[in-house]
Amino acid sequence: MQAESIGSNDLTSLKAFLDNNGGGINTYASAITYGYSVSPFIYLPAGADSGSSDPVQVQPDVTFSKVSPKIPSYSPLASFASTTLFSELPGNPSIYEDRYTVRAGRWPTAWNEAVLVLRPNGTMDDFLEYTLGLRDYAGLRSTVDKIASGESGTIEESHNTYTYDQLMSPTFKLVMPYQRYVWDGNLGVWTDKSDDQSYMNDLIANAPDLHIVGVVQAKDPTTTGALSEGIYYTPQLTQKMISDAAASPIVQDQMNRPDVDVFTGKTFEDEKNGQTSEGLSISSLISVDSNALSSAFNFNPQALNFSSINLSGLDMSSLDLSDVQLPAFDPSQLNLSDSDVLSSVTSSLDPAALAAAFPELSAADIQQILSGITVNFKPGGQAAISSLMGNIALGWNSWSAANPGKTMADYLATDQVRTQIVTTVSSAIDTDDLQQQLVTALANKLGTNPDLPSVQAEVSQRLMSAYQSQIASALSAAITRAMSAYVQSALTSVMTQVASRMQNQIAGALNTAMQGVAANMSNAMQIDQATLASAFKLNADPSQLAAIAASMLRATPATYESNLTKMGYADLNKPTSINIYPKDFASKEKIVEILNTYNADAKAAGEESKVVTYTDIVGALMSSVTLIVDMISAMLIAFVSISLVVSSIMIGIITFISVLERKKEIGILRSIGASRRDIANVFNAETFIEGLISGVMGIGITQLLILPANAVVKAMFNVDNLVILPINGALILILISVVLTLLAGLIPAGRAAKSDPVQALRSE
């Protein structure tokens, strides 16, 4: 029974439950062990018959780390690439000691002792020979390097024989994970020194030894034991590693700064978000001598030659302006709505001047009359005015070209333009409506004055003249504004086009001139490369830089827990796996019930996080085996059933033929007094004897075949008594044979008993 800390499995709560004998689990479990995702680094010392001048890391093995994807599954190296030969012994020796025979030495008891477990047949894997230093490790690495470079490489299978003393002779070196990290005071981080061969050689040379004190082999080769092939160290080593790590400076530093990754100086949150932190200053890696840096550069202005800068060849006469276009005038710019021009006409008339011309009316009277007057266009009049102004604007281009130096006001003051304006305005303004408004306004003001008709005519005429004059002035002003805006826009467009062409020509000339300056700039600037190189100094050697890079460049963001695990530390109350060993199959079912009850109670209490997912390894294996056995049994039963049915039919046919051949005999027996029952018993006795003899012969032949079959299996697979025929099973098979033959002979026997004696005697 195994539970692992996968996903959200809360093994801390489960451990507390098990430690308190929750559900009475101790009654059904022979042992409960806790696993932690920490393991020591184990090395084979240099020169330990490994063929290598440097120590070889054998746990975890890194020989195939670079070439694992390149090794085909059918290659002998495939099993090496995924092999872990070092493991921790279960905490309770009763789980395994009774199932293994100690071939040499003893079981380990101390933290620096280990045991070698062989295969059930007493052999071991080729890779284990390399791990023990019994074969040339340099040859293995050479083959791996060939595969890494794309070449083919193979390893010959070993047929060597070793003594138990040879298997126990290797001595390994133990290096705790936290010992591979060193504090870098300049950078303020812990760096990984595992790639620093000199540092690692010194560390390994002074590391404690791990001795193999025993060699064991499974007693029963037909059963799977708790230990597979490999080297096993004691749980005391794991506990010592965790306790030593807890007291190490790097673990203490990480615990004191739970939010900061001590390998990078960044916070874990920043690493997760891909942000930088001020914890690690890269500038501290490099020191700069400012004096040396300034002296490395020397500038000689006298070496500059500006004679090459000559812009005399810049010829603006060659500037091509043929494609420069004036924008077309848009008459829509002229806004001639009533509220724009005509409303300004009324407001521009001077009431005082009109009052002086008409003594009959005061200035106030004229102001009151004018305030009620509205100047309107005739139908189509506004369009005529717009057309007039467009024509006047379009005529400006040709007039200005023929009269250089003249302004827009001069153009509008010409007789031709003034005549066009007056004529068009006179025809566009609704004078009848305007005169009617004036007459009505004057009548309201003068009342029944006898001079009213003459006054109305004169006032109307003068006001009409004043309105026409003001309208002409208003239109001239509108045209002037529109033309001014047009001229400004046109000049801007033209100047932009001209400036662009001038810029290209000037830029080409300057580029040619500056090329000459750049050519002699190198003569003026002198750099002392040796002085420049000496101005920069690295505060770390290449090995330190490699260690820093290894610490900082990681594929996945680190966490507080993963860092502590990397250092070899684990909280004993927070296991990563729990193994429960039941006493027997009945106890296994009880343990499953206890775990299911634990999960149900957690759900009922609303503590979904405490629900654990576990694997019933024995149950899974047994269910698979049971399914396979059931399938095979069903197939065998089907074949046997078919064969039995066929055999029964054949026995019935043979018995029936015997009845037909013995008709005269049946008639004689009946004639001397034999009853039908006696005739049936004769044939039933024969079928009984046939079934008994065939059953005994079948069991005897089967028993004879079992002997050579077991001998072959023993010789090839070292498995004793693979096939066994129990006595009870043999007797049952004989009984089945007798019963089937009796059943098959019932019909022929009944047919014989019913035969007519007279006809039977006459049959031959």
Residues 720-727 have a mean pLDDT of 85
Question: How sure is the predictor about 356, in pLDDT bands with cuts at 50, 70 and 90?
Answer: low
Residues 6+ apart with CB under 8 A from 8: 609
Lowest mean pLDDT among 526-530, 534-538, 592-596: 534-538
Is 481 exposed, middle or buried (CB count within 10 Å of its CB: 0-12, 13-18, 19+)?
A: middle
Structure tokens at 725: 């025929």
Q: What is the pLDDT of residues 467-516, one digit of tens each?
A: 666 666 666 666 666 666 666 676 677 667 666 766 666 676 666 666 66
Please state, as a whole number, how many other Cβ atoms lie within 10 Å of the Cβ of residue 247.
10
627 has a pLDDT exceeding 70: yes
Residue 339 is predicted with a pLDDT of 41
Between CA 361 and CA 363 the distance in angstroms is 7
7 has a pLDDT exceeding 60: no
Q: What is the DSSP string of 48-79?
A: SSSS-SS-EEEETB-TTTTTGGGS-TTSTHHH
Closest CA to 261 of 561, 572, 576: 561
160 vs 224, residue with greater confidence = 160
- The kind and range of the H/E element at 144 are helix 137-148
The residue count of the chain comes to 764
Going from N- to C-terminal start, the domains of the chain cover: 1-36+580-615, 37-277+543-571, 331-526, 623-762
Residue 475 is predicted with a pLDDT of 65
Q: What is the pLDDT of residues 387-433, one digit of tens each?
A: 777 777 777 767 777 887 777 677 777 877 777 777 777 777 777 77
Residue 6 is predicted with a pLDDT of 47
Between CA 580 and CA 90 the distance in angstroms is 11
Q: What is the pLDDT of residues 268-323, one digit of tens each?
A: 888 777 654 444 455 556 677 777 667 766 766 666 665 655 555 555 555 555 55
Instruction: Among 8-22, 331-345, 370-384, name the most confident range.
Output: 8-22
- Is residue 279 within 8 A of residue 264, CB to CB? The reply is yes
598 vs 357, residue with greater confidence = 598
Residues 6+ apart with CB under 8 A from 172: 42, 43, 44, 45, 58, 114, 209, 210, 211
Residues 439-450 have a mean pLDDT of 66
Amino acid identity of residue 364, one-letter, is A
Lowest mean pLDDT among 119-128, 131-140, 381-390, 570-579: 381-390
666 has a pLDDT exceeding 80: yes
Residue 279 is predicted with a pLDDT of 47
Closest CA to 42 of 25, 55, 52: 55
Please state, as a whole number, how many other Cβ atoms lie within 10 Å of the Cβ of residue 369.
21
Query: 193 in helix, strand or coil?
Result: coil
Residue-averaged pLDDT of the chain:
78
- Is residue 422 within 8 A of residue 462, CB to CB? The reply is no
Lowest mean pLDDT among 6-10, 190-194, 548-552, 583-587: 548-552
Q: What is the pLDDT of residues 43-90, one digit of tens each?
A: 998 876 555 678 888 888 777 655 555 455 545 555 555 457 899 998
Lowest mean pLDDT among 503-517, 606-620, 634-648: 503-517
Produce one character per residue of 143-169: b if its CB has 16 or more CB atoms within 10 Å, e if not. bbeebeeeeebebeebeeeeeeeebbb
Structure tokens at 107: 């079981």
- Is residue 107 within 8 A of residue 90, CB to CB? The reply is no
